[in-house]
Amino acid sequence: MNSLWRRHSCLPRPDSSGRFLVVDMVAAGGEQRRHECLRHSATFFAVACIAAFLLFLIGCGAKGASDPALGAPPAATVEREGNADLVKVDRPDQFPLATAEEHDSAPELNVTGTVSADVSRNVPVISIASGRVLEIRARLGDTVTKGQVLMRVQSADISGAFSDYRQAVADEILSRAQLERAKLLYDKGAVAQKDLEVAQDTEEKAKVTVETTAEKLRVLGADKDHPTAIIDVVAPVSGVITDQQVTAASGTQGLASPNAFTISDLSHVWIVCDVYENDLPFAQIGEYADIHFAAYPDKVLRARVSNIGPILDPNLRTAKVRLEVENPGFARLGMFVRATFHGPKKEARAMVPASAILHLHDRDWVYTPADSGQFQRVEVVGGDMLPGKMQEIRSGLKPGQRVVQNALVLQSTVEQ
């Protein structure tokens, strides 16, 4: 010990009475050394006093926090067990229970789909004659009737067709007159029979030319009795214009151009859904599915399955299922719908008050009573809403089991 005090001669050293003395065993009597030791001793005592004061404050604070008289909050009444889904409350009777009732329901499959046009009811509108579009009288989304003028086209093809028709008519008149003259001369014996036959053949060919040129005008959309280079393109059927590929002052190249318009009969539409391969047994050709619209939740349509795609999507592993339904007027192309397919057999399922189901983290949960005032949180799969503010439980709960009637109240207590 003495050797320790020699090595650290500036440290405070207690004497026999308990007081600390500062000694210098190495350089006794050195004035400069004595002052340094006194300064170091003062620093040591200051640090010791501050540390003792801080320990005193910490002790007082801890005592005050645990003193109920100072207004501290009471201890938590919910105790979590080792299982995160198991909770314990001190008054379980304040959470009333409800018994899950039995509900007969057929297994269902809900998938999303879109409203599409029936391609068999789509009619393209084209202009056989090429030329310049002078006027557009219908636009995308308009409802048109059969024979309504959609656009007007100025075409050189029409002008050429009228020229050919008028020439054919003139040739036919001349050949008819020559035939009548040949008949008269043949009756008088002035010409041979072969000259009469040539005149008859010329007359027949002239008639064919007139008929051909008249038919060409009709195909181009012109009227042979009203010669003009402008034709009117009319709607071939009644319906809604669902596509437009032409504008005013644009050009059209006849059949080489895209369809100017597409008219769709929306009295019947398709519902196209993607169904996973594991769920394909729910969709059977000829069966019906319920169609629910997000925009019209109170309206449900029954659609018939008309086709199931023979090829699966290699990435999603889904098949295209097509349903046909009569459009009452509010189904619009591109709408998202929910199609519900019903299974062939019914099964018993549980139903509980809607308030007993807790929607948490994109899942459905219920609280069931356990032993010693405990409640177990159980994951379930919720179903459709039923009359009387009840909700169907598709899986996770059986009829006859008891659940907390208001799961949200218990969950709030647990979180507190």
Within 8 A by CB and 6+ apart from 144, the residues are 138, 150, 235, 238, 239, 240, 241, 263
Residue 75 to residues 11, 79, 90, 155, Cα–Cα distance (Å): 49, 10, 12, 92
Residue 344's Cβ-count burial label (10 Å; 0-12, 13-18, 19+) is: exposed
pLDDT above 80 (res 140): yes
Tokens of 49: 């006093």
**What residues does each domain of the chain span?**
2-62, 86-106+346-415, 110-118+264-342, 156-228
Q: What average pLDDT does this structure show over 12-35?
A: 48
Q: Which residue has the tokens 């320990």?
A: 55
The superfamily CATH assigns to domain 110-118+264-342 is Efflux pump adaptor protein, beta barrel domain (2.40.30.170)
Number of H helices, E strands in the chain: 5, 26
Distance, in Å, from the CA atom of 88 to the CA atom of 80, rounded to the nearest integer, reads: 6
Task: Tell me the pLDDT tens digit for each residue of 291-338.
Answer: 999 889 899 999 999 999 999 999 999 999 999 999 999 999 999 999
Which of the following CATH numbers is that of domain 86-106+346-415: 2.60.40.10, 2.40.420.20, 2.40.37.10, 1.10.443.10? 2.40.420.20
Distance, in Å, from the CA atom of 249 to the CA atom of 304, rounded to the nearest integer, reads: 45
- The CATH number of the structural domain formed by 156-228 is 1.10.287
Q: What average pLDDT does this structure show over 193-204?
A: 94
pTM: 0.57
**pLDDT of the residue at 269:** 96
Answer for the pair 282, 326: CB distance below 8 angstroms, yes or no.
no
Q: What average pLDDT does this structure show over 342-359?
A: 87
**pLDDT of the residue at 2:** 46
**pLDDT of the residue at 357:** 93
Answer for the pair 107, 345: CB distance below 8 angstroms, yes or no.
yes
Percentage of the chain with pLDDT > 90? 56
From 54-58, 401-405, 407-411, the region with the lowest mean pLDDT: 54-58
Tokens of 130: 């090429």
**pLDDT of the residue at 255:** 84
**pLDDT of the residue at 48:** 64
From 46-60, 331-345, 370-384, the region with the lowest mean pLDDT: 46-60
Q: What average pLDDT does this structure show over 15-23?
A: 48
Distance, in Å, from the CA atom of 317 to the CA atom of 325, rounded to the nearest integer, reads: 26
**pLDDT of the residue at 134:** 93
104 pLDDT band, cuts 50/70/90, is confident
Phi and psi based region of residue 186 (left: phi greater than 0; alpha: psi -120 to 50; beta: remaining): alpha
**pLDDT of the residue at 72:** 55
27 pLDDT band, cuts 50/70/90, is very low
352: nearest Cα among 319, 401, 415, 308: 401
pLDDT above 60 (res 69): no
From 36-50, 115-129, 139-153, 270-284, the region with the lowest mean pLDDT: 36-50
Pairwise pLDDT comparison (394 vs 263), residue with the higher score: 263
Pairwise pLDDT comparison (416 vs 238), residue with the higher score: 238
Distance, in Å, from the CA atom of 395 to the CA atom of 404, rounded to the nearest integer, reads: 17
Apex 241 CA angle, 238 and 246, nearest 5? 125
Within 8 A by CB and 6+ apart from 276, the residues are 316, 317, 318
Task: Tell me the pLDDT tens digit for each residue of 142-181.
Answer: 999 999 999 999 999 999 999 999 999 999 999 999 999 9
Mean pLDDT of the chain: 83
Pairwise pLDDT comparison (131 vs 75), residue with the higher score: 131
Q: What average pLDDT does this structure show over 214-227?
A: 91
**pLDDT of the residue at 345:** 74
